[in-house]
A and B are shown apart, each in its own frame.
Chain A
Amino acid sequence: MSKLSLATVWLDGCSGCHMSFLDMDERLLELAEAVDVVYSPLVDAKDYPDQVDIALVEGAVASVDDEKKIAKIRAHTKTLVAMGDCAITGNVPSMRNPIGPQAILERAYIENVTAQPQIPCVVVPRLLKVVRPIHEYVKVDVYLPGCPPSADTFYAAIKALIKGEPLDIAALTRFGA
């Protein structure tokens, strides 16, 4: 059996899901026999490949960049997995929604800065007014809630995805787990 291609993506999140993914430790080696990691903050690939079997997406959609990325990922992925609460509920990044991005930017780049306080306008992507979970933009195939989902959850879920077996996610994890 040829190996499946796996991508992991980091949108607006804290990378905690990726850390938890790495917490699978030696089980990663076992998974590596079945999948190739083709795109990830953990590997060197710069562009999202044309055909990916499984993509694990961490983080919410918070900027115009995220919006473009998630559309591209969806277009080139067979099974899109929303990984962790930010991707699924908006979670901590969405806590700015009631007050709006301007207040956040001012707090971060002006009020708490002593040298050259200014809101960045180049390189940094423009923020969307509202942070949303990824399923509000694209179709999501599998939801893995948790903040972060535990290594055990990842292991069970990825194994089931590789084998194409059914998966009772609610038995494994929950929001905030």
Chain B
Amino acid sequence: MTIEELDQIAASVRTEREQYDHEINVCLGTGCLSQHSDRVKEALAQAVEASGKKVYVRRTGCMGLCAAGPLVLVDPESTLYQHVHASHAETIAASLGGAPVAELQCDLRDHFDQQVHVVLENSGRIDPERVEDYIANDGYRALLTALNDMTPQGVIRQITESGLRGRGGGGYPTGLKWGTVAKAKGDVKYVICNGDEGDPGAFMDRSVLESDPHRVLEGMAIAAYAVGASKGYIYVRAEYPLAVSRLTACLRDARRHGLLGNGIGNTPFNFDVEIRLGAGAFVCGEETALIASIEGRRGTPKPRPPYPAVSGLWGKPTLINNVETLANIAPIIRKGGRWFAGMGSERSKGTKVFALTGKIANTGLVEVPMGIKLREIIEGIGGGVPGGHKFKAVQTGGPSGGCLPESMLDIGVSYDALLSVGSIMGSGGMIVMDDTSCMVNVARFFIEFCMTESCGKCIPCRAGTAQMFTLLTRICTGKGTMDDLALLEDLCSTVKEASLCGLGQTAPNPVLSTLKYFRHEYIEHIEHKRCPAGVCQMEAAEEVHA
């Protein structure tokens, strides 16, 4: 495969498209599929055929606005329909060429206009399983450019210049990581794509893998070229069956087109990718645990150093990047590191995908430039808290993150800003809570999550999270004392400072941040045996054997 051949494929896709007067894109992401968007697509295909109009009905990945699914986008008019049912197919087909179907129309210009799509540029626009669609949207151009016109060092230079930082949550500079692996000595090197997304309320990586899998494969191949790896693994949760099946199909297509395998792009570069399924252990998102899991061992983390960059998979230098990080690579190579660095804030460049969930009108996936205010995401793009309720807190970064109150909504979203107020960027989960949420109960929920997901290797995390859960349960059931609260805070510091890996080190964050911003709710539970949000059931203190 050469760039010219890519051009030919792109041209033939365009010619093919020109035959049609309209294109109907139907979201077949997990969210819309759960509302039977597959039936919608089938019905639309039948309806347009019956109508005799020249229309192409395309399966696409996620369009972002999951709350309004199933979503259907009609081009070239860019008409977005929401909550489409199979029974609407004929009406939609009939409207083509005329006025849109008003009652189905989704009019959320603000929601989309404030977003900047880099990672999601193809999501909801291409058929994820058609490599030709991806190629027609500049797909694999970056890989072939890198292989033919750039040195590995040149690639790393672009990534470094872009200022891209790890999107899995750590925020480690990607260029620096690549440089370390490139410099590491080893006969064999590996590239691993971390798709073990496990935060409650997070579905960024799943969506990218479902909607634009080739983008991730291209990113991996470029990374492999840059660091000198010849083998890659995608570690993805078995709970993401759609992502796995699409990835499997795309791997086959990429190999068939000579975009993976031996002699990629008619150069001496060899690279192939294997999928490894995770069994759903949250801790396997931690890189050393993930490596252990790929090796077929129990998924437990190891102390670092040595870092995987030096001694990773099977003791070889290994580059591990998150799905979203890798999804940023192709556009950076295509448009240059400087272009990417032009977006975002001082120390957090580019864009970030967030999964908006909880008490928010526009549940779904959004991509925004770094530095944007939390308020703009929640009240603007997200449409605010529905049902006349009052905003109370936003939880960012999943179980490792914190809960931020209304007064913090004007901070810009960046790694450092979120860290400074007691939360983290994390992988991009954003759970909005209103006045019906009890913050003590929320902290208890996240600690319970960490307790059940702790691998059990180190004592502070294994036993510490369990004790924190016990103490929080006491408080939530009206049995807690101020001594329990002091003990809880004491445990937070030991679990945070003494745990072996990131899971334990960040597990107390939801407790610490709710204690910082919502301490009065804890006090209310303890001193007045009352849950201000009316969530917690207070029990009688007696524990007598009947």
Contact = CB atoms under 8 A, between A and B. Distances in A.
Q: Answer yes or no: are A and B bound together in one complex.
A: yes
Nearest to A105: B545
B544 A130 contact: no
B544 A126 contact: yes
Interface in B487-546: 543-545
Nearest to A67: B544
15 contacts: A64-B544, A100-B545, A101-B545, A102-B545, A126-B544, A126-B545, A127-B544, A127-B545, A128-B543, A128-B544, A128-B545, A129-B543, A129-B544, A129-B545, A130-B543
Contacts of A102: 545
B467 to A, nearest CB: 13
Interface in B190-238: none
7 nearest A-B residue pairs (beta carbon)? A101-B545, A127-B545, A129-B543, A129-B545, A126-B544, A128-B543, A128-B544
Chain A's interface size range is: under 10
B473 to A, nearest CB: 14
Interface in A124-173: 126-130
Nearest to A130: B543
A64 B541 CA distance: 13
B279 to A, nearest CB: 30
Contacts of B544: 64, 126-129
A156 B476 CA distance: 43
Interface string A62-99: 00100000000000000000000000000000000000
Interface string B100-127: 0000000000000000000000000000
Interface of B: 543-545
Interface of A: 64, 100-102, 126-130
Contacts of A126: 544-545
Given A100-B545, A129-B545, 13 more contacts: A64-B544, A101-B545, A102-B545, A126-B544, A126-B545, A127-B544, A127-B545, A128-B543, A128-B544, A128-B545, A129-B543, A129-B544, A130-B543
A99 to B, nearest CB: 12
A127 B545 CA distance: 6
Contacts of A127: 544-545
Nearest to B481: A136
Contacts of B543: 128-130
A128 B543 CA distance: 6
Contacts of A129: 543-545
A66 to B, nearest CB: 12
B38 to A, nearest CB: 51
A37 B544 CA distance: 33
Contacts of B545: 100-102, 126-129
A62 to B, nearest CB: 10
Nearest to B546: A126
Contacts of A100: 545
Contacts of A101: 545
A128 B546 CA distance: 9
A102 B545 CA distance: 8
Contacts of A130: 543
A128 B544 CA distance: 4
A129 B544 CA distance: 5
B329 to A, nearest CB: 53
A76 B544 CA distance: 25
A124 to B, nearest CB: 12
A129 B542 CA distance: 10
